[in-house]
Structure 1
Amino acid sequence: MITAEAKAHDQAMSHDLVSRMTLAEKMAQLIYQAPEIGRLGVPAYNWWNECLHGVARSGTATVFPQAIGMAASFNTTLMERVASAISDEVRAKYNGYRTFGRTGIYQGLTCWSPNINIVRDPRWGRAQETYGEDPILTASMAVAFVRGLQGNDPRYRKVDATLKHYAVHSGPEAERHGFDARVSARDLFETYLAAFRICIEEAEPAAVMGAYNRVNGEACCASPTLLQQILRDRFGFDGYVVSDCGAICDINRFHHVTADEAESAALAVQSGCDLNCGSAYASLKAAVLRGLIGEEAITRSAERLFASRYALGELTESPYDTIDDTVIDCPAHRELALQMARESIVLLKNDGTLPLSGNLRALAVIGPNSDDRSVLLGNYHGLPSRYTTIYEGICDTVPPGVRLFKARGSELLRPVTHDYAEQPLHEAILAAQKSDVVILCTGLRPDVEGEQGDAFNSDLGGDRRDIELPEAQLALFEALAAVGKPIVVVNTSGSAVSFAALEQRAAAILQVWYPGQSGGTAVADVLFGHVSPSGKLPVTFYRSIADLPAFHDYAMAGRTYRYMTREPLYPFGFGLTYGRICLDSASPSALNVSEGEPAQIQVIVSNRENRPVTETVQVYLSHDVCPLPAPSLQLVAFSKVTVSPGTSETVRLTIRPDRFRVYQDDGNDVFVPGRATLLAGCSLPIARSTELGAPPWLCIPVRLEG
């Protein structure tokens, strides 16, 4: 992170530069396609770039697993390394593009990532872009990502990270431009804003992006409550705010908060939205002439933006100017993408079929996603120089002498009905009959779940109507199950799907998300036992939408592991390995925690298997008695550890002071003396986890002392 002295220097430089601009020049700089100011030596700059899981929309780049998959790794150290690699590629591309005299869209240093919205409902199409349903996991992964992107130079930022979408944003996609998310103050601060607060405190992101929707009646990109009272006054944010693209126009067109774009632009700038992705700020001149806004507010926003350009060295020079294109999709980054893909894979069920036996003679790889490249990439992606689909990864890894059969088996969504269409089912049945094991590649694709406008095969603007596997794939599973061979399900999706129809009959289930350019290799490494799976679910896998409140309802009651009352199909934090991990002991045996003080515990983890195993120790807090409503369980710390065969490791974890606080109705958090319990395990500490094969958890009684 850059130092306070560096920030002060950049602010002084910005103040001086902006003071020499005319009002018209200042207003023009508040639009994302900022023009050149030749007389002041200011080059044109396009602020829009993307790097959600690799440099996006700018040609060749390393494509890491989609964000939800990286969250499943529960590995913040690896996440920071991934983000550092991404920012190297951002810089390399920028350094090349700037030789043309200017940079265009998707060529700059200001990246509109990460997406830290909370997945309150798996039907939301953009859940794939996030780090899941838990505020602490989301914040932890986001802090690592932001630190990796922005670099560790005390004077210059390598890349600007942008937290989005602020705030309370998770569908419905088709209504996002005019939707009003109504939330209580408790839910707002306890769930929807928690990751923003923590990330701002611990990583100092350069920017925040305002969302399309309203929150409790105020448009997010023009909300004095969200942008000034909360973001700056309460959270201490000192960077700049950018609107989502077209969101300022939405204020008058769809939210009907203002009468026209001049009013919308004036309200947004006065509320603290400094940069407009869109065209609405072209109406600032009219707003000034009508007396809706003064020059002071425009100057303030311009100074924030130029302070960032100075911090990046974009107007001067920086130590990152020598990064060149040799880093783009280089061998080291490809290996990093493979490592993250391996750690993102979650083993949900295994009856002993995995890892695949050395006695295997024939293997069938079946399913509409088995050899599909789009399921590697997710959305907001670049173009890797090398792809490995699931089928290709298996081809590259299958032992010599094993015969491999391939069949599509079905269409992605619905069975084919017209007479002249190809009938792929019979080929799949024949392949299964000739094989010892069937690898069935099920799931979704980015064209059926995603952002409005991108997921063109979704009939809900990118969202899903339910969480079931598509009809055609369920029919394919039924036909293959009738053959009687063990079926290993390999599922690609950006959030939870229901495996209720097949989980009893599948021999094993792997959830692999959208695993990036090396996803096929990673899947094969797990299937054949070259690595033990170590991913954990960052979202709850529900049995059906009957377990969920209405999609439009933003109240957290009944949602996610923290508030749901029904038993999940697969719990948050769950994921099996190929080893026998035991949590032998936790210390201290009891804790006294005073207000404002952290707590330290240690857990001894042993591996009673003859292979190395990587496991994630998770610590949850449960208040025994609390006068305020609190989550039934709350993740408060986690740590990933690799344990050698027949050995033990001591895992040390720190629980931050704010993790012991609870929220009041007014959204303020307080420390409540009383009794609580810390539960350490390898999954959510509920009976369903044990039933599925997670090791028993350990309990530490806690006295909270005021």
Structure 2
Amino acid sequence: MWSPNINIFRDPRWGRGQETYGEDPFLTAQMGVAYVTGLQGNDPKYLKALATPKHFAVHSGPEPTRHSVDIKVSEHDLEDTYLPAFRATAMAGAGSVMCAYNAVDGKPACAQPMLLEEHLRKDWHFNGYVVSDCGAASDISRNHHYTTTMEQGMAAAVKSGMDIICAWPAEQIATERDAVLKAAQKGLLPKEDIDRAVKRLFTARIKLGMFDPPESLPYSNITSADNDNEPHRQLALQAARETMVLLKNSDNLLPLGKKYKTIAVVGPNADSVDPLLGNYNGTPSHPVTVLAGLRQRFGDANVVYAQGSSLTGLPVEAIPGDVLKNNSGQPGLTAEYFKGARPAAEQHESPVMARTDPNIDFNWGHGASPELKEDFSVRWTGTLTPSLTGDYLIGFNGTDAFHFWLDNQLIGESGPSDTSKTRLKTLHLEAGHAYSVKIECSQPGTSGLVKLVWHLPGEKRDYADAVEKADVIVAVIGLAGELEGEEMPITIEGFAGGDRTSVELPRAQERLLESLVASGKPVVVVLMNGSALGINWADQHAGAILEAWYPGEEGGTAVAEALAGDFSPAGRLPLTFYKSVD
């Protein structure tokens, strides 16, 4: 398993900082050791799973330059900041380590003997294997220009202590494999270096019990049912409770008492699964959003909801079926489902299922049908006929790869990933005009989200009625994995390439919060984010602020319990919350 990420979160704008344990080297080391030892188990002979602390080393963003940047680091900073967590996890018995994209002091990390031999092997007595980050081996020649050819780059990496390549993208696999073969054939890569790497790799496989009968292995009786059960959900709830941090509570606004009969829950993260999970995550079978948690704790009749805004703009909703027509002119869209997660455009066989979907608003938990329980793709076609003339914000939300065309114009696309993302475009549409629709979407695995969305013309405030009815407002705002994460093709105000360009809340959410406070009702802010937020205005004007982070599958339950006073949200911040980047 390529985890844990034990890099140090030095710049709050780094998109992958949300994967880490924060900015403190000691805390990161302690958490990393607990992760590694828990994952690998305590059997003296076999590993339960194999941990891979990453990314070794001095890897803390930014995302857009990671394939070519050379980090110059002082010996003191290297030893005091960047290496302690790797030292601790290596000495705790981690089975492997992942070397980073960046260069360190003039040499790519995957070909830096100072890291891979001097520190990892000699100083820390690490006896596992080293895997490259995906594509990092080809970066040695292609982007760092450390060597002239890829064969030379591969040889330099293996001789320096890298044992196996992760090639990326997929079409690069043969290229990098062939480069290693040519390096060996040309004498650039001696046989003893190859043998050393192979020995380390097979040692890991032996420790995992891959060559022994299952009945002799201590962990072979673990089934999928052991990973999704009530005790595990209770553990997830305990973890979520312990991460909550109460940042402000003026005039004892919290806990919410009986005097607040109606609670308005407003915000883009209130009823979304994404901000429970961050990214690089599994998909829980029973996720509890903040809205669901509050309804469960305070009662459906006492909670009203409105989205208020999207993460970075106007609120969007699923396009209703009454404006959609399939290829026969009937309500809905023509849907063709294919086996395999290859894009529908690359499918050469007939669809295994064809039907009319009323609209596109799916949360697949166990596939699309009994025949398609996992690994499928879909093509939707038909028309969209709006009833109003005006400027629409229209787009698509999906967990994995998708393309969306309207009248043969590409509206949005996304490559494979593990987090939901929304691609939107503003278009002027005419009432009564039928616009052709084509959407192609891939779904690896069993679970994922897809939704065709829009915002109707006008600046309507969908939360006005909820606020008017309420005695107190809970604003659930922040970030999500579609905004901060690993190297993403995103450039919008406040975000670029996976990183953030400021520490403030997205402007749309700041405006929403200002409007909610202007109502005169008490406002509790629940923050859901993986990196630090500059919340100066909220600190001055909101009555209470609860930092919930990306709290996991039971996060909504934990937030509701914290607001109700069922436990004290006594977590601590593992990183500095800066007021601004100035």
Once residues 326 and 426 of structure 1 are traced to their aligned partners in structure 2, the CA distance between those partners, rounded to angstroms, is 44
Equivalent AA in structure 2 for residue 345 of structure 1 = M
Q: Secondary structure of 1:177's match?
A: coil
Shift of 1:395: 0.6
Shift of 1:376: 1.1
Tell me what 1:263 maps to. 152
Once residues 399 and 480 of structure 1 are traced to their aligned partners in structure 2, the CA distance between those partners, rounded to angstroms, is 22
Whether the aligned pair in 2 keeps the contact of 1:362 and 1:436 (CA below 8 Å) is yes
Whether the aligned pair in 2 keeps the contact of 1:448 and 1:456 (CA below 8 Å) is no
Once residues 460 and 410 of structure 1 are traced to their aligned partners in structure 2, the CA distance between those partners, rounded to angstroms, is 20
Tell me what 1:490 maps to. 526
Once residues 121 and 424 of structure 1 are traced to their aligned partners in structure 2, the CA distance between those partners, rounded to angstroms, is 36
Once residues 466 and 372 of structure 1 are traced to their aligned partners in structure 2, the CA distance between those partners, rounded to angstroms, is 24
Distance 1:169 1:362, change over 3 A: same
Once residues 424 and 324 of structure 1 are traced to their aligned partners in structure 2, the CA distance between those partners, rounded to angstroms, is 51
Once residues 281 and 427 of structure 1 are traced to their aligned partners in structure 2, the CA distance between those partners, rounded to angstroms, is 55
Once residues 466 and 7 of structure 2 are traced to their aligned partners in structure 1, the CA distance between those partners, rounded to angstroms, is 43
Tell me what 2:17 maps to. 127
Query: Which runs of 5 or more residues in structure 2 are unaligned?
Result: 168-172, 317-389, 393-454
Tell me what 2:129 maps to. 240
Whether the aligned pair in 2 keeps the contact of 1:368 and 1:412 (CA below 8 Å) is yes
Once residues 424 and 382 of structure 1 are traced to their aligned partners in structure 2, the CA distance between those partners, rounded to angstroms, is 36
Distance 1:365 1:425, change over 3 A: farther
Shift of 1:383: 1.6
Matches within 5 A, 1:485-634: 485-546=521-582
Once residues 141 and 221 of structure 2 are traced to their aligned partners in structure 1, the CA distance between those partners, rounded to angstroms, is 45
Equivalent AA in structure 2 for residue 364 of structure 1 = A
Tell me what 1:19 maps to. none
Whether the aligned pair in 2 keeps the contact of 1:410 and 1:424 (CA below 8 Å) is no
Whether the aligned pair in 1 keeps the contact of 2:90 and 2:120 (CA below 8 Å) is no
Whether the aligned pair in 2 keeps the contact of 1:446 and 1:455 (CA below 8 Å) is no
Shift of 1:116: 0.1
Once residues 129 and 282 of structure 1 are traced to their aligned partners in structure 2, the CA distance between those partners, rounded to angstroms, is 33
Tell me what 2:192 maps to. 296
Whether the aligned pair in 2 keeps the contact of 1:409 and 1:424 (CA below 8 Å) is no
Tell me what 1:583 maps to. none
Q: Secondary structure of 1:208's match?
A: strand
Tell me what 1:251 maps to. 140
1:273 pairs with 2:172: no
Shift of 1:455: 6.4
1:379 pairs with 2:273: no
Aligned to 2:265, which of 365, 377, 384? Answer: 365
Aligned to 1:323, which of 219, 222, 244? Answer: 222
Q: Secondary structure of 1:503's match?
A: helix
Whether the aligned pair in 2 keeps the contact of 1:379 and 1:450 (CA below 8 Å) is yes
Whether the aligned pair in 1 keeps the contact of 2:495 and 2:502 (CA below 8 Å) is no
Matches within 5 A, 1:129-144: 129-144=19-34
Equivalent AA in structure 2 for residue 204 of structure 1 = G
Matches within 5 A, 1:461-480: 461-480=497-516
Matches within 5 A, 1:217-232: 217-232=106-121
Q: Secondary structure of 1:360's match?
A: coil
- 1:31-71 residue CA offsets vs partner (Å, 9 max, x unmatched): xxxxxxxxxxxxxxxxxxxxxxxxxxxxxxxxxxxxxxxxx
- 1:188-227 residue CA offsets vs partner (Å, 9 max, x unmatched): 11001111112222x2111110001101111001111111
Query: TM-score, normalised to structure 1's length?
Result: 0.60
Whether the aligned pair in 1 keeps the contact of 2:268 and 2:307 (CA below 8 Å) is yes
Distance 1:276 1:419, change over 3 A: closer
Equivalent AA in structure 2 for residue 333 of structure 1 = H
Shift of 1:403: 2.5
Once residues 454 and 342 of structure 1 are traced to their aligned partners in structure 2, the CA distance between those partners, rounded to angstroms, is 34
Once residues 466 and 10 of structure 2 are traced to their aligned partners in structure 1, the CA distance between those partners, rounded to angstroms, is 40
Equivalent AA in structure 1 for residue 499 of structure 2 = D
Aligned to 1:286, which of 174, 182, 185? Answer: 182
Aligned to 2:2, which of 112, 122, 129? Answer: 112
Tell me what 2:468 maps to. 433
Shift of 1:461: 1.3
Whether the aligned pair in 2 keeps the contact of 1:407 and 1:424 (CA below 8 Å) is no
Once residues 269 and 507 of structure 2 are traced to their aligned partners in structure 1, the CA distance between those partners, rounded to angstroms, is 15
Equivalent AA in structure 1 for residue 474 of structure 2 = I
Once residues 187 and 477 of structure 1 are traced to their aligned partners in structure 2, the CA distance between those partners, rounded to angstroms, is 40
Once residues 556 and 508 of structure 2 are traced to their aligned partners in structure 1, the CA distance between those partners, rounded to angstroms, is 23
- 1:270-324 residue CA offsets vs partner (Å, 9 max, x unmatched): 0000011113243222112222121000000100111111111111142111212
- 1:159-199 residue CA offsets vs partner (Å, 9 max, x unmatched): 11111000011111111111111111111110011111122
Equivalent AA in structure 2 for residue 242 of structure 1 = V
Once residues 504 and 524 of structure 2 are traced to their aligned partners in structure 1, the CA distance between those partners, rounded to angstroms, is 18
Shift of 1:430: 3.4
- 1:86-114 residue CA offsets vs partner (Å, 9 max, x unmatched): xxxxxxxxxxxxxxxxxxxxxxxxx1100
Q: Between Structure 1 and Structure 2, how many residues are aligned? A: 434
Tell me what 1:182 maps to. 72
Q: Secondary structure of 1:545's match?
A: coil
Tell me what 1:638 maps to. none
Q: Larger relative contact order (C-alpha < 8 A, sep ≥ 6)?
A: 2
Whether the aligned pair in 1 keeps the contact of 2:526 and 2:548 (CA below 8 Å) is yes
1:197 pairs with 2:87: yes
Once residues 312 and 302 of structure 1 are traced to their aligned partners in structure 2, the CA distance between those partners, rounded to angstroms, is 15
Once residues 438 and 113 of structure 1 are traced to their aligned partners in structure 2, the CA distance between those partners, rounded to angstroms, is 38
Q: Secondary structure of 1:349's match?
A: strand
Query: TM-score, normalised to structure 2's length?
Result: 0.72
Once residues 72 and 472 of structure 2 are traced to their aligned partners in structure 1, the CA distance between those partners, rounded to angstroms, is 50
1:453 pairs with 2:488: yes
Q: Secondary structure of 1:504's match?
A: helix
Shift of 1:516: 1.1
Shift of 1:454: 7.5
Tell me what 2:344 maps to. none
Once residues 236 and 37 of structure 2 are traced to their aligned partners in structure 1, the CA distance between those partners, rounded to angstroms, is 18
Aligned to 2:62, which of 172, 179, 184? Answer: 172
1:350 pairs with 2:239: no
- 1:236-257 residue CA offsets vs partner (Å, 9 max, x unmatched): 2121100001110011110000
Equivalent AA in structure 2 for residue 205 of structure 1 = A
Shift of 1:388: 0.9
Once residues 399 and 217 of structure 1 are traced to their aligned partners in structure 2, the CA distance between those partners, rounded to angstroms, is 60
Shift of 1:329: 1.0
Once residues 281 and 302 of structure 1 are traced to their aligned partners in structure 2, the CA distance between those partners, rounded to angstroms, is 15
- 1:95-141 residue CA offsets vs partner (Å, 9 max, x unmatched): xxxxxxxxxxxxxxxx1100000000110001111000000110111
Tell me what 1:102 maps to. none
Tell me what 1:208 maps to. 97
Once residues 210 and 221 of structure 1 are traced to their aligned partners in structure 2, the CA distance between those partners, rounded to angstroms, is 5
Whether the aligned pair in 2 keeps the contact of 1:447 and 1:456 (CA below 8 Å) is no
Tell me what 1:78 maps to. none
Once residues 58 and 558 of structure 2 are traced to their aligned partners in structure 1, the CA distance between those partners, rounded to angstroms, is 34
Tell me what 1:574 maps to. none
Once residues 228 and 579 of structure 2 are traced to their aligned partners in structure 1, the CA distance between those partners, rounded to angstroms, is 39
Whether the aligned pair in 2 keeps the contact of 1:343 and 1:535 (CA below 8 Å) is yes
Equivalent AA in structure 2 for residue 436 of structure 1 = D
Once residues 161 and 539 of structure 2 are traced to their aligned partners in structure 1, the CA distance between those partners, rounded to angstroms, is 50
Equivalent AA in structure 2 for residue 215 of structure 1 = V
Once residues 282 and 384 of structure 1 are traced to their aligned partners in structure 2, the CA distance between those partners, rounded to angstroms, is 39
Once residues 265 and 275 of structure 2 are traced to their aligned partners in structure 1, the CA distance between those partners, rounded to angstroms, is 16
Shift of 1:399: 4.8
Shift of 1:424: 6.8
Equivalent AA in structure 2 for residue 446 of structure 1 = G
